[in-house]
Amino acid sequence: MAHMLSPRLPQVDAVADDLVGTLKRIPEGETIQVIGSPSAGKTALLHQVAQRLLEQRSCGLVPILLSPPTGQRDTGFAGFAEAAADFHRRNVINGEFEKLADTKEPWTWAASLAAFKRWVKDKPEVVLLCDEPSTWVRQTGEFDHYDLFARELVASVLDAPCRKLVVGTSHLQSANTTTLLPSRSEPFEWLSTAEEWGALAPSAEVVKKWNAARLGTCSPLSIRLLVALTAAGDEVRARDWLASNQNGLVDLAGFVRAALQKSPTYRALTSIWDALALLRRPFGSDLLAASGTDSLTPGARFLLDHCILYQEATPRARWVLHDVLRQAALLPPEAKLQELHRGFAVAYHSAVAPSSPTGTVDTPEDRLVAEVEAYHHATASSDATTLGSLKPLFVEQMQLLGRELSVRGRKLQLSGKHAAAKALFARSAEAYRSAVQLRTTDDYGHHFLGFNLDARADSPEEAEKHYREAVRLNPSRARWHSSLVQFLIDRANFEDARAAWAQAIDSLSAQLGDLAIYSELHLFVARAWMHRSQLLEARKTLEAIPKSFDRPELRAVRARLEALEEAEGGRAFVPLRYLKKGWASSGPFLLSRGAQNKPLVRWLAARIEAVEKDVVSLRVASIEPPEAKKVSKTMTLPIEARELRRLCKDDSPPRFRAGQFVELGYYGTDKQPTAGRFYREDADEDLLPPAFPPYDRYLNPEQ
Amino acid sequence: MQAPQLREDLLYVIVLGPGFGESILVRVPPCSWLVVDSFRRQSDATVPTRDLLRHFGVHDAAVALTHPHLDHVDGFPDVLSQIRAGLIGCDPKVIGGVFPTADADAIYREGAKRAALMAIHNQWQSTPARRWELAAGSKQPVGTAQVTVLYPTTDARALRNPSPNRVASPFWLEWGSFRALLGSDLDHAGWAEITPGEPPLRGHHLLKVAHHGSRHNQHHEVLTGQPPRAWVLTPWMLGAGVLPLLEDDEGIGRLLRDNTEVTVTWLPLNAKRTKAARRTRLEALAELRGEEILGRFAREDPTPQEQEGAWLAVGFDQSGKLVHRQAGPSCVVLCVPQKLSRRAAKKGTSCR
C-alpha cells in the first residue's frame, strides 16, 4: 500500500481551511488564486477544499472540480465532460447531463460551450475549482484548430460569474486575491519510518542524512525521487541535485528514469513508467495492470508504488503519475505505443460497460469521463475494432479521430507504405464525413474531408467540392484557400486555380498584414506553381510577399525559382545547388584557381548532353575571365570520352551519361582545357517546405 | 499575334513556332478542328494556341499531344481549359515515372510535362469518351477529314524508357484528295518502322517537317517525291542549341535536296554558331546559297514581339491545291531558284 500524500503536506491543510473561509466571504464572480511550485500540492489543495465544502453543506457552496488532461487537443471536450459530470454529481443541472451521456447524436462544441455558460449563470452556490487552467491549452507556439476549444473553455471558466478558486504556478491577471502555497514536506520523520519505505528504507536513511535545510524545502515528490535515485544506484547525482538545483524537478525525474534504465533490478520499470505517462487522469488498478505491471519483480513494483506513483487524497484513492514524471517519460516506439493505447482504450471501455465483470466505474458521472478517455486512447491507437465499439460524445472528437488517422497516414505515405496510408486516409475521410453530416456548416470538417479524399487521390471531384465548401463557409481562413488553389494547380486546372487565387486574395485582403498568411498561402501556392513549371505565376505569387516576411523556407523557394528560371532560359550548366541568377561570377565551384603555378584564365561549366560510342557531347557555357558576371558564350562541344577521363583523372564517374555536370579549366596560356572536375551525384538537400499530398498523386497513384 | 483570315471552303493548317515550342492547328471546313501540341511564349508565358482558339471561338476540337517534350507540352492545360469537348489524344505510356530532384533542367521540363499529362488524365478520368490513345493505326474523323496516327507501333510502345522522340506520334491527314503529314519529332528509327507502307507518306501535299529539320529525324521515304510540296518547319533555340542546322547535309540543306522550298516560321540566323562550330549560321547559309542573303532577319534576329508573328497558315482545297497562304512577319521561305534547280541536290538558296 502506498502512502497517502496529504499527511506529508501539512501546509495544504492549513491553506485549505483559510481558502474555504475566504470563499464563503467573497462575492460571486471573484477569483482566488493559489500559486505554488510544481509538486507543492496544488491539486491536493483543490481536493481538500472540495471535501471541506461538501462537508459543510450548510455554507451553501457547491464545489465543481475542473482538472482536465493538460495540453491535449481534446482538453476542451474532456474538461467539459468533467464539468458536466461534477455539475450533475452536485445536482446543479438537470436533464442536460443525461442528454449528453445518453446521446444518440454527439454534441457540437458550440452547444457544449453554451451549456457550460448556462450552468454557471445565476448559480450563486457554484464554486469552480480549477487545476492550473494555464496548462490546459497546448503551448506549441503554432496555431492548432483544437487548441481553440481549450482556450474557449479556459476563457469561459475564468469569466464565469460564480466564485472561482484557481491554482497555478504563475500569476493570473483576473485574480482578486492571491495566496502562496509553500513547498514543504517535513521529510525527516517520514524518511525515518522504516516500515513505510520497506526495501527502500536504507536509501531513505541515506537521503535523510543530507543537507537538512534543503531537504526541508523539498516537496514529497522530490523526496520520493531522491530515494528512488539513491535506490537505483546513483546516490551521487541525487546528492548533487539536492545541493545545486532543486528547481529542476523534471531533471531529477529524468535522472531517476536514466538510473532505473541502467539498473538490472529496476530496468523493467521504465517501460511501465512510459506506458503510465500515456494515461491522462488518475487511474485504478485495472489500468495499472494494462500498463504491464504484472511483469515487475516485487522490488520494482514496490518502488513504482512508493516513489513513482502516489495515491489521490480522496476516498477513491486512485493512482496518480505526477505531470513532472509524465514529462520525463519517453514515447514508446510506434507499434508499442499503439498497443498500449489500444489496451488502455479497452480497459476504459470495459470499466464503463455496465455488464462488465471488470467494471470499476459505477457512477454515470465517472462513466462519462471514462468514455472520453476511452475514445482518446482508441483514437491514438487508430484501432478500427476498438473504435467501432465506442461512440464519440462530441462531433469534434470525430474530427480529432480524422486528424490522427490522417497524420498517421501521412507518416506511412512518407515511409513508402502507400496502400496502408490510403486505407488510413479513407478512414480519416469517413470520420470527417460523419462529423460534417452532423454539422454541415463546419468549414474545418469540409476542408479536411476534402484533404483526405485528395490524399487518397481517387475522388477528385468530391475533394474539390469539399475544399470549395470550406472556402465558402469561412473565406477568412487562408489555409482553406491555400488547399483549394494548390489542388487546382496540382490537377493542372490552371484557369480555375487563377480564379481561386484571385478570390483568396480578395477574401483575405483585410488580413494581408498578418505574415502568417504568406506562410500558409503564398509560399505553398508558389511552390505548387513551380512544381508545374509555371514560373511566371510562381514569381508573381512570391513577389506579393512583403519584404518583412523572411523565413528559411521562403528563401529556399526563391532559390529554387531562380534555378528553374535559369533552366527555362537554357542556362542550367551547373547543378541545382549552385544555380542562381549570375551563377557564373560565383564559380568555378570545383576547379582550383591555379594549377602548376598557372592561373585559371577561363572555365567551362558543362553538362553531358549525349553519349555516343566514344564521344561525349557536352553543352558548355564558357566563363572568361573566371570572375566574369556573365557567360561569354555557349556551345556544344564534342569530346572523346577517353580525353574527358584524362582531364578529370580520378574524379570521373564510372559511366558517362546525359545530365552529369563537369567543370573544365584553362590555365595560363594553354589553348586546351587541362583540368576537369565532375560534380558528385548526390541529391541536393531539399530545403523546400514539405509538400503534402504529393503533387503527382493523381498521375502516380503509387506515390 | 495577328490571327490568320480563314476562307470557309478551305482546309487550313496553321503552324506556330516562335523559336521554342511548336503547335499546329488544322481547321477542316466548315468548323472542325484538330489541335496538335502546344507551347508557352517565353516572354509573357501566354499560350498562343489557346489564344488563337479563343479568337476563333473554338470550344470543340480533337486535341493531341504527340510526345511529352517541353516544346510541345507547355501550355497544354490552358489549351484544354479552352477546349471543353472533343477527343484528347496522348500515348498513356508516357504518364507516370519518378520526378527528378537534383537537376534544374530536368525538374523544369518534367514539371511542364506533368502539368500537361495531369490535364489530360483529368479529362480522361472525368469524361472517358474523350480518351484517344495515340497508337499506330488509330483513325479518327475530324469533321469531313480523317486523321490516322502513324506511331508508336505496338513494338515501340513496349520499349523500355524510350526517348520521347523515339515514340512521338506523327499524323496522316486526309481530306478529299488532300494529304498532309504532320511529322511531330519522330526520329529516323520510328520512320523506318512506318515506311514503306500504307499510306504512302511521300504522297503528301503538306509536310510539317519532323524535329525542326534535324537529319536524324528525316527519312527518304518521306522526303523523296514530286515537288513542289508545301514543307514547313519550326525553329528550336535553347541555350547553346539551335535548329534547323544549315550544313550541306543537315537541316535546310538536306531538305532542299528533295523539295524546292521550305518555309521556316522564323530563321534564327544570328544564333551563335552551327553544330560543328566551324562558322556562323549566316556563313553557312551564304555558303549553301552561294550569294548574299536578303532580308532583315539575316542580319539580326526578330524581337520577341516580332517572334509572335512566327506562324504560317496554308489553305488547301480538296484536290490538294494550295490556294491561300498567309504568314507572320518573321516567316522565311527558303527555296531553290530555278537556275539552280538542277543542282538542288547539292545547293539551296533563300528568298523572302
Q: Which of A1, A5, A8 shows the shortest CA–CA distance to A305?
A: A1
Average pLDDT estimate for A439-458:
96
pLDDT digits (tens, 9 = 90+) for A345-401: 999 988 877 655 544 567 889 999 999 999 999 999 998 888 888 889 999 999 999
**Lowest-confidence range among A12-26, B275-289, B327-341?**
B275-289
**Lowest-confidence range among A114-123, A279-288, A528-537, B280-289?**
B280-289
Q: How many CB pairs under 8 A join A and B?
A: 126
Per CB-CB distance under 8 Å, the chain B contacts of A533 are: 74, 108-112, 115
A523, A554 in Cβ contact below 8 A? yes
Question: In this predicted structure, what is the pLDDT of residue B226?
Answer: 82
pTM here?
0.86
DSSP of A399-441, one letter per residue?
HHHHHHHHHHHHHHHHTT-HHHHHHHHHHHHHHHHHHHHH-TT
- Secondary structure E strands in A50-125: 62-66
pLDDT digits (tens, 9 = 90+) for A245-272: 666 899 999 999 999 999 999 999 999 9
Cα B202 from Cα B223, distance rounded (Å): 6
Question: In this predicted structure, what is the pLDDT of residue B340?
Answer: 43
Mutate to test the interface with B, among A464, A568, A604, A661 (most CBs of B within 10 A): A568
Question: In this predicted structure, what is the pLDDT of residue B41?
Answer: 86
- Residue in B81, B99, B125 closest to A494 by CB: B81
**586-615 in chain A: CB under 8 A from chain B:** 607
Question: In this predicted structure, what is the pLDDT of residue A686?
Answer: 67
* Residue of chain A whose Cα is closest to the Cα of B76: A492
Cα A483 from Cα A471, distance rounded (Å): 10
B266, B312 in Cβ contact below 8 A? no
**Lowest-confidence range among A237-251, A284-298, A420-434, B297-311?**
B297-311
Average pLDDT estimate for B97-116:
86
For residue B199, whether the previous peptide bond is cis, meaning omega lies within 30 degrees of 0, is yes
Q: How far is residue B111 CA from its own chain's centroid? A: 22
Per CB-CB distance under 8 Å, the chain A contacts of B106 are: 659
Contact (CB<8Å) B102/A494: no
Is the per-residue pLDDT at B292 higher than 50? Answer: no
The angle at the Cα of B290, spanning B287 to B295, to the nearest 5 degrees, equals 90
- Residue in B42, B102, B111 closest to A531 by CB: B111
Is the per-residue pLDDT at A472 higher than 60? Answer: yes
Cα B288 from Cα B281, distance rounded (Å): 10
**Lowest-confidence range among A86-95, A526-535, A676-685, B142-151?**
A676-685
pLDDT band at residue B323 using 50, 70 and 90 as cut-offs: very high
What is the share, in percent, of chain A residues with pLDDT greater than 70? 96
3-class SS string, A508-574: CHHHCCCCHHHHHHHHHHHHHHHHCCCHHHHHHHHHCCCCCCCCHHHHHHHHHHHHHHHHHCCCCCC
Distance from the A174 Cα atom to the nearest Cα atom in chain B, whole angstroms = 55
Per CB-CB distance under 8 Å, the chain B contacts of A634 are: 239-240, 272
Distance from the A519 Cα atom to the nearest Cα atom in chain B, whole angstroms = 23
The H helix count followed by the E strand count for chain A is: 31, 13
Cα A583 from Cα A564, distance rounded (Å): 13
| Assigned C-alpha cell, B320 | 490538294
* Residue of chain B whose Cα is closest to the Cα of A620: B240
Contact (CB<8Å) A495/B81: yes
* Residue of chain B whose Cα is closest to the Cα of A496: B81
Q: Which residue has the higher pLDDT, A447 or B248?
A: A447
Contact (CB<8Å) B116/A619: no
3-class SS string, A100-120: HHCCCCCECHHHHHHHHHHHH
H or E segment to which residue A346 belongs? helix A334-352
Per CB-CB distance under 8 Å, the chain B contacts of A492 are: 77, 114-116, 118-119, 122
pLDDT digits (tens, 9 = 90+) for B16-59: 998 889 999 999 999 999 999 999 987 788 999 999 999 999 99
pLDDT digits (tens, 9 = 90+) for A283-297: 988 899 889 899 999
Is the per-residue pLDDT at B6 higher than 60? Answer: yes
Per CB-CB distance under 8 Å, the chain B contacts of A462 are: none
pLDDT band at residue A614 using 50, 70 and 90 as cut-offs: confident
A2, A183 in Cβ contact below 8 A? no
Contact (CB<8Å) B126/A461: yes
Q: Which of B170, B142, B173, B176 shows the shortest CA–CA distance to B321?
A: B176
Contact (CB<8Å) B117/A699: yes
Question: In this predicted structure, what is the pLDDT of residue A28?
Answer: 92
Average pLDDT estimate for A110-127:
93
| Assigned C-alpha cell, B282 | 549566316
Distance from the A636 Cα atom to the nearest Cα atom in chain B, whole angstroms = 6
pLDDT band at residue B274 using 50, 70 and 90 as cut-offs: very low
**626-685 in chain A: CB under 8 A from chain B:** 633-637, 659, 681-684
**503-532 in chain A: CB under 8 A from chain B:** 530-532
Mutate to test the interface with B, among A571, A574, A636 (most CBs of B within 10 A): A636
- Residue in A461, A491, A568 closest to B118 by CB: A491
Cα B1 from Cα B44, distance rounded (Å): 13
Cα A470 from Cα A479, distance rounded (Å): 10
Per CB-CB distance under 8 Å, the chain A contacts of B238 are: 570
Per CB-CB distance under 8 Å, the chain B contacts of A611 are: none
A423, A458 in Cβ contact below 8 A? no
| Assigned C-alpha cell, A614 | 566514344
Is the per-residue pLDDT at A85 higher than 70? Answer: yes
Contact (CB<8Å) A530/B106: no
3-state class (DSSP) for residue A673: coil
Per CB-CB distance under 8 Å, the chain B contacts of A458 are: none
Question: In this predicted structure, what is the pLDDT of residue B343?
Answer: 41
Mutate to test the interface with A, among B38, B118, B280 (most CBs of A within 10 A): B118
Contact (CB<8Å) A576/B118: no
A153, A79 in Cβ contact below 8 A? yes
Q: How far is residue B85 CA from its own chain's centroid? A: 23
Give me the sheet containing A126-131, strands edge to edge.
A62-66, A126-131, A163-168, A31-36, A177-181
**469-498 in chain A: CB under 8 A from chain B:** 490-496
* Residue of chain A whose Cα is closest to the Cα of B114: A532
For residue B142, what are the contacts with CB-CB under 8 A and spacing of at least 6?
Answer: B26, B28, B32, B33, B34, B62, B173
Question: In this predicted structure, what is the pLDDT of residue B294?
Answer: 40
Residue A576's alpha-carbon distances to A129, A570, A687, in angstroms, are 60, 13, 12
For residue A269, what are the contacts with CB-CB under 8 A and spacing of at least 6?
Answer: A260, A296, A300, A303, A304, A308
Residue B165 has phi, psi (to 5 degrees) of -65, -30
3-class SS string, A234-298: CHHHHHHHHHHCCCCHHHHHHHHHHHHHHCCCCHHHHHHHHHHCCCCCCECHHHHHHCCHHHCCH
| Assigned C-alpha cell, A472 | 465558402
Average pLDDT estimate for A146-167:
95
Question: In this predicted structure, what is the pLDDT of residue A201?
Answer: 94
ipTM of the complex: 0.85
Q: Which residue has the higher pLDDT, A692 or A352?
A: A692
Average pLDDT estimate for A419-434:
96
Is the per-residue pLDDT at A6 higher than 80? Answer: no
Q: Tell me the angle at which helices A395-414 and A75-89 cross, rounded to the nearest 10 degrees.
A: 150
* Residue of chain A whose Cα is closest to the Cα of B236: A570
**Lowest-confidence range among A606-620, B76-90, B183-197, B234-248?**
B234-248
Per CB-CB distance under 8 Å, the chain B contacts of A580 are: none
Sign of CA dihedral A250, A255, A259, A261: positive
CA dihedral (A161, A167, A168, A169) in degrees, to 10, reads: 130
Per CB-CB distance under 8 Å, the chain A contacts of B121 are: 698-699
H or E segment to which residue A136 belongs? none
3-state class (DSSP) for residue A122: coil
Sign of CA dihedral A70, A72, A77, A81: negative
Average pLDDT estimate for A103-113:
88
- Residue in B77, B109, B240 closest to A494 by CB: B77
Q: Which residue in the block uniquely carries the three cell numbers 518502488? A: A303
Question: In this predicted structure, what is the pLDDT of residue A494?
Answer: 94
Per CB-CB distance under 8 Å, the chain A contacts of B115 are: 492, 494, 532-534
pLDDT band at residue A655 using 50, 70 and 90 as cut-offs: confident
What is the share, in percent, of chain A residues with pLDDT greater than 90? 61
Cα A442 from Cα A469, distance rounded (Å): 9
The DSSP symbol for A305 reads I
3-class SS string, chain B: CCCCCCCCCCEEEEEECCCCCCEEEEEECCCEEEEECCCCCCCCCCCHHHHHHHHCCCCECEEECCCCCHHHHCCHHHHHHHCCECCEEECHHHCCCCCCCCCHHHHHHHHHHHHHHHHHHHHHHHCHHHEEECCCCCEEEECCEEEEECCCCHHHHCCCCCCHHHHCCCEEEEECCEEEEECCCCCHHHHHHHCCCCCCHHHCCEEECHHHHCHHHCCHHHHCCCCCCEEEECCEEECCEEECCCCCCCHHHHHCCCCCEEEECCCCCCCCECCCCCCEHHHHHHHHHCCCCCCHHHCCCCCHHHHCCCEEEEEECCCCCEEEEEECCCCEEEECCHHHHHHCCCCCCCEC
Distance from the A471 Cα atom to the nearest Cα atom in chain B, whole angstroms = 23
pLDDT band at residue B145 using 50, 70 and 90 as cut-offs: very high
